[in-house]
Amino acid sequence: MRKVTVILVLTVLAAGGVLVALSQPRLLDRLGVMGEIGWLRSTTRAFLEDIQFKDFEKAASYHSPEEQETVDIPFLIERLFGVKPEQLDIMEYEILFSKIDSTGLRARVKSRVKVKHLLQDEIHDRELMLYFHRSSADAPWYMKLESSLRMLSGEEGKKH
């Protein structure tokens, strides 16, 4: 009878631990349980932290090697938030969801970012979608922030 009680208690504790872990995506990310989705979420979190601490060189490193030298993170931040990076305080951020498409070659991660515009002393919540791509299922993921924000006008030869 005593062994049955011990086994029952251990089973209940293990099940509770699994439920807690499943309800905490950040915990699963830290433990590396979520695979590629966890990596994408973790990378997005690291990118936002790099921007928060104005480490633009590190923030550019999430792009493909060919783009890393040319990506202009301060310009992209200004386009994204409407103020120059030195006038922006990223206070906090949260990953809302992440998804890989059916081909396994494209992904997106949505986050909520709380920012303070320092000159106007205003706080805003912004939702941000970061896109990732890779060339094959075994290739590394790269961010595509540059191409989605850089274009200031419509493509030539297309109706607008």
Q: Quick one: 28 and 74 in the same domain?
A: no
CA dihedral 87, 68, 38, 147 (to 10 degrees): 80
Question: pLDDT per residue over 72-121, tens digit each?
Answer: 899 988 888 889 999 999 999 999 999 999 999 999 999 999 999 999 99
Same domain? For 26 and 39 the reply is: no
Whether 9 and 74 share a structural domain? no
Say yes or no: 116 and 77 in one domain.
Answer: yes
* DSSP per position, 84-145: -GGGEEEEEEEEEEEEE-TTSSEEEEEEEEEEEETTTTEEEEEEEEEEEE-SSTTSPPEE-H
* The predicted structure's pLDDT at residue 158: 61
Tally of domains in the chain: 2
Q: How much is the pTM?
A: 0.73
Q: Please tell me the predicted confidence (pLDDT) of residue 153.
A: 58
Whether 8 has a pLDDT exceeding 60, the answer reads yes
Convert the pLDDT of each residue in 118-156 to its tens digit: 999 999 999 999 999 999 999 999 998 755 554 555 557
| Pair (69, 98) in one structural domain | yes
Residues 28 and 65 in one domain: no
Which residues are 130's β-sheet partners? Answer: 109
Q: How confident is the model at residue 30, as a pLDDT?
A: 47
Q: Does residue 28 carry a pLDDT above 60?
A: no
Are 96 and 21 part of one and the same domain? no
Domain extent, residue 17, equals 1-33
Asked if residue 45 and residue 22 are part of one domain, the reply reads no
What Å distances lie between residue 67 and 62, 64, 155, CA to CA? 9, 5, 20
Pair (21, 55) in one structural domain: no
| Residue 68 DSSP SS3 | helix
| pLDDT for residue 51 is more than 70 | yes
Residue 7 has a pLDDT of: 79
pLDDT of 4:
75
The answer to whether 110 and 97 are in contact (CB under 8 A) is yes
Q: Do both 9 and 45 map to the same domain?
A: no
